[in-house]
Each structure stands twice: as C-alpha cells, then as structure tokens.
Amino acid sequence: MIYLYNGLSLFLLNILFGEIIQFPNAFGFIALLFFLIGLIPTNLRKIFPTFKKTRVHKFLVQGRRDIGLASFFLSICHAYLIIKQGNFEFSDLETFSNFSSGIILITLFLILAITSTQQSKKNLGIGNWRRLHHWLSYTGLFVLAWHILDKMRNHYSIYTLSGLILIAIIAGVYALRKDIEFNFFSPIEIKSTK
C-alpha cells in the first residue's frame, strides 16, 4: 500500500506542480498532506460519531500506518534533497540551528515510524503506545507550522499558504475534539449556597 501512496505522490507532483514548486519543497508539501490525512480519522470520529461508520473512515484507519510511513518517506526525501542542494557544512553549529525545526521533525517522524509496528504496541502497551503517538503527532503538527514559517520566510507561495491553512484547520479540529472530550470551554456552573 505504501508504494501506491508514493506512486500517487509522485504522480500528483508531476501533474499538479510541474516546475511551479521547487522539487524538494514539493516532497515536503506532499509529506505534509499525508501527515495531515493521517490525523483526520480520530479527530472527525470524536466530533462526528457517525463518521466512524463511513467507508472513508474505514479506509483511513486501515491505511493510517501506510499513510504515516509514506509521510515519513517523503519527508526523508525532502530533507535529502534540501541537504544535497545546499552543500551544508555539518561541522558548523549554525547549520544545526538553522535547520533545528527540520531535525526535530525528522526525529519525531522517525520515532513514529519505528514505533508503528504491532510489536511496538505489544511492548509499550496499547495505552502507552497511543499516548506516545498522540503526543508525537500533535507536537509534530505545531513544529511543522514553525518549520514552514521559518524556512519559507520571504518566499511564500500558494503551497506555503495552503499548508499553513491546512495545519490551522487540523489544529482547530483538534481543539474542538479536546473540548468535546473534556469540556474545556463550556460555561462553569456556580452553585448557589442558599
């Protein structure tokens, strides 16, 4: 299934972007799309309980691991091409400070990829595994926004804007989901002492 997603990504890359977007950034944008698609099922299932019964939900849940691995693979391609284009000096600390958001993202995605196996679920326990993936995924969501804002500064495009808008939508849906789960924003009832 992962080959299908990667093939689809490259197809979309050639058809939609052509020469409009730089090749490494196209990999990053497609990786972002796959990552965000992987976050959709749980959030929509909590907000719209009937969504759980749809074919879309079933497809996304069954393919979630492959979607995440495709996102990881594409982000590795993105990082490799950026490094290859830039001729960076890795012994320089400034290089690491300039690319700290990317390094953090690759680390988060690597941990997500390594722990996406059934054996990891058994070793960690399903509750710990879910908490780990939840924390890494939503931390990654906010680091992605930082990464895009930092790296695309002064040369924004429609893809930069659409990526940030999609991140904001998923973050908003996540906040709504948490409000439904924990009633964060509901009015507080004050009991009378009469």
* pLDDT tens sequence for the chain (194 residues): 554 555 555 555 555 554 445 678 888 999 999 999 999 998 888 888 898 889 998 999 899 999 999 999 999 999 888 888 877 777 778 777 788 888 899 999 999 999 999 999 999 999 999 999 999 999 999 999 999 998 888 777 788 889 999 999 999 999 998 888 887 666 556 666 65
Quick check: pTM over 0.85?
no
For the chain, what are the domain ranges? 2-182
| CATH architecture, domain 2-182 | Up-down Bundle (1.20)
Report the C-alpha gap between 32 and 71 in whole angstroms: 7
